[in-house]
């Protein structure tokens, strides 16, 4: 039986999260959620019509790092101007077979924290994720902070299409890669995903990327997480 609270917590859930198990957990929880499943153009959940949340399992997070999708999603979240965060759900054992290097994951997390300002919270499972929803909404109701600091895409002098500019910024987070080398890598491979999966011999063919730098990039993107 649901516990009695003074005020409900309003939650909008993107329709793609319908199979996550979150709606069922909310239905059976003691928390006073009132939810609606809709299409959210950005994020997976919207708390109190104010706080945007992107939820990712660790497996999905690794895939999104390899494809570069996580960076696009992060910039879209922070550029809404709403307070937002990323919840990483799951246990480390679930990704023991991943070929993603720990250094690559750290580089990604640094980029998300420092350059986008997107905060991240770990959750062990869907039940704890729902619990986090409650904690976040409850603290928000109590604090009613009027303004949250958000970040946009870092300004660059490059006159590029926004989506291409984001990819170049992502590549610049690699050690030893400046704007021009990032452009060269993107022009040679065509996507961030192909850069990440490239071999040393392929990377070293790019203008401005010698064998030593190619080995550094390869080591960063292929270590075990």
How far apart CA 39 and CA 119 sit, in angstroms, is 23
Residues of the chain with CATH 3.40.50.10130: 9-143
207 contacts 178 by C-beta, under 8 angstroms: no
Here the tokens at position 212 are 């030593």
Place of tokens 């069922």: 24
Question: Tell me: the pLDDT tens digits for 23-53?
Answer: 999 999 888 999 999 999 999 999 999 999 9
CATH of domain 162-222: 1.10.150.20
DSSP 87-153: EEES-GGGGTT----HHHHHHHHHIIIIII---EEEESSHHHHHHHHHHHHHHHHHH--S------P
DSSP secondary structure letter of residue 4:
P
Place of tokens 């958000």: 150
What is the value of pTM for the model shown?
0.64
In CATH, the architecture of 9-143 is 3-Layer(aba) Sandwich (3.40)
Q: How many beta carbons lie within 10 A of that of residue 159, not counting itself? A: 6
Residues lower than pLDDT 70 in the chain? 1-6, 97-99, 143-166, 173, 175, 220-225
Residues of the chain with CATH 1.10.150.20: 162-222
Question: Tell me: the pLDDT tens digits for 145-156?
Answer: 444 444 444 434
């Amino acid at each position: 039986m649901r516990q009695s609270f003074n005020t409900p917590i309003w939650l909008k859930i993107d329709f793609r999260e319908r199979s996550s198990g979150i709606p069922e957990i909310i239905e059976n929880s003691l928390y006073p959620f009132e939810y609606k499943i809709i299409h959210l153009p950005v994020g997976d959940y919207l708390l109190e019509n104010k706080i945007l949340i992107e939820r990712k399992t660790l497996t999905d997070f690794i895939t999104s790092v390899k494809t570069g999708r996580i960076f696009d999603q992060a910039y879209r979240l922070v550029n809404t101007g709403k307070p937002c965060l990323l919840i990483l759900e799951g246990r480390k054992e679930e990704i023991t077979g991943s070929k993603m290097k720990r250094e690559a994951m750290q580089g990604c997390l640094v980029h998300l924290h420092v350059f986008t300002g997107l905060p991240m919270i770990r959750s062990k499972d869907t039940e704890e994720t729902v619990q986090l929803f409650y904690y976040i909404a409850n603290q928000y109701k109590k604090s009613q902070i009027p303004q949250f600091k958000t970040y946009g895409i870092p300004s660059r002098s490059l006159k590029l299409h926004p989506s291409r500019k984001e990819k170049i910024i992502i590549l610049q987070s690699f050690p030893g890669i400046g704007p021009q080398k990032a452009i060269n890598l993107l022009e040679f491979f065509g996507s961030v995903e192909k850069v990440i999966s490239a071999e040393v011999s392929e990377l070293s063919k790019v203008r401005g990327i010698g064998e030593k730098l190619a080995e550094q990039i390869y080591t960063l993107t292929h270590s075990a997480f």
